Amino acid sequence: MSFLKPWPMELYLPEGPGPFPLICLTPILGRLAFLEDLFMEKRFAGFFAKHGFATALIDRPIFEFDPKRGLDQIQLYLEESVARSMEALDYLMKQEEINPEAVGSFGISFGSIVNILWAAKDRRLKANVFALAGGNIPEIIVTSRDPLMRNYFRSIVKGTGLSGEELKRSLEKSITIDPLQAASAIPSGSVLLLLGIFDRVIRFRYGMSLRKALGNPETIFIPLGHYFTLLAAPFLVWRALKFFERKLGKQTL
């Protein structure tokens, strides 16, 4: 593992000579209680590296809603997240350990939303696993039961003085990029979608709307909620690994 600058990411490399196929791993937005930041993502990255894939864990600044900056800061955060990922990949593509013809993405929750927006404009991503994703960002913000998202919702309502319905309409005007619109630019054959049937953070119906927008790609339905899906992590990362092996191949010698 090595820490790369100026882009905040950790690169996990398999043993042996490269070049290796690359997975760009984009994490969840918040932190899991009682665990170090990126605890789960670091273990996913190590798993992929153990099985022959270079894995770049792309860090993210934690979003804090500032009432003085207005609703536009939400889209700005999304745009900056996508730009940061693309710049990180620009750097990685020049490294001798990386096979530039075999690059994929793995996003979890908010990371999936970022990666959908990213994959829609970056043809270098040949295979994409979107875990616990959904479309319609304004609806997700207003309806999510996630404690972090509820804190954002309360901060936004307090800062704007808008009711829930008024806020949704304002968000629909201020957020002009969304996975539902971006999805049509992503080849459905390049996607594996993981959806939690009882997800209350990104509701299942928003995941299904995204699935339709993506052209009904290969999908794994998990009979759990957003965070309890982590209980199925060994199974899910194994399925993701097999998907990447099919789409990207294994190590190129």
Q: What is the pLDDT of residues 119-139, one digit of tens each?
A: 999 999 999 999 999 999 999
CB 127 within 8 A of CB 106: no
Each residue of 232-251: pLDDT tens digit? 788 899 999 999 999 998 75
* pLDDT for residue 228 is more than 90: no
* pLDDT for residue 176 is more than 90: yes
Q: How much of the chain, in percent, has pLDDT values that exceed 90?
A: 60
pTM of the predicted protein model: 0.91
For the chain, give the longest Cα–Cα distance.
59
* pLDDT for residue 177 is more than 80: yes
CB 53 within 8 A of CB 21: yes
* 98 or 167, higher pLDDT: 98
**Of 4-8, 177-181, 244-248, minimum mean pLDDT range:** 4-8
Each residue of 14-53: pLDDT tens digit? 998 889 999 999 988 766 655 677 788 899 999 999 999 9
Domains of the chain (ranges, CATH numbers): 2-248 (3.40.50.1820)
User: Does the N-terminal peptide bond of residue 187 adopt cis geometry, omega within 30 degrees of 0?
Assistant: no
If you search the block for the tokens 């901060």, which residue do you land on? 155
Alpha carbons within 13 A on the beta-carbon side of 167: 23
* pLDDT in the model for residue 252: 45
Residues with Cβ < 8 Å from 113, sequence gap 6 or more?
Answer: 78, 107, 133, 134, 137, 179
Phi-psi region for residue 222, left (φ > 0), alpha (ψ -120 to 50) or beta?
beta
Helical packing angle, 233-248 and 39-50, nearest 10°: 40
The C-alpha atoms of residue 46 and residue 242 are separated, in whole angstroms, by 16
What is the bridge-based pairing of β-strands 98-108 and 20-26? parallel
* pLDDT in the model for residue 103: 98
Lookup: tokens for 102: 């075999």
* 144 or 93, higher pLDDT: 93
State mean pLDDT over 103-113. Answer: 94
Residue 94: Cβ-neighbour burial (10 angstroms; 0-12, 13-18, 19+): exposed
Please state the φ and ψ torsions of residue 131, each to the nearest 5 degrees: -105, 130
**What value does the mean pLDDT of the chain take?**
88
* pLDDT for residue 253 is more than 90: no
* pLDDT in the model for residue 23: 98
